[in-house]
Amino acid sequence: MNEQKAKFTWHYYVMAFGALLAMLAATLGASGGIVSGLALIIISHPRIPFKSVTRIFFMIIFVILYVFAFPDADVVREIMIGTHK
């Protein structure tokens, strides 16, 4: 019963956010968004030995890539309506 409890740090919140982003990108079929969300999950894992500045730099890069991974708004509207070919 003397097992140490794992600390619940900010890393797990970012990992959950990355999973949410990847699932959102999957609904629209944006493969670049899926990859960016999964990369955000991997880079924010607490066992990765990156220092804070390097890790934050990569996190910002993956979020920027995620934002630009989606198609135009007109294409998204067509997908949601169901008229996309």
Give how far Cα 71 sits from Cα of 30, 32, 37, Å: 8, 10, 16
Query: Which residue, 66, 84, 77, is CA-closest to 30?
Result: 66
Report pTM: 0.75
Which pLDDT score is estimated for 9? 82
Which pLDDT score is estimated for 17? 94
Which pLDDT score is estimated for 82? 77
- Over the stretch 21-73, which tens digit does the pLDDT of each residue have? 999 999 888 889 999 999 999 998 888 887 888 888 999 999 999 999 888 88
Which pLDDT score is estimated for 84? 61
Which pLDDT score is estimated for 64? 93
Domain boundaries, the chain: 10-81
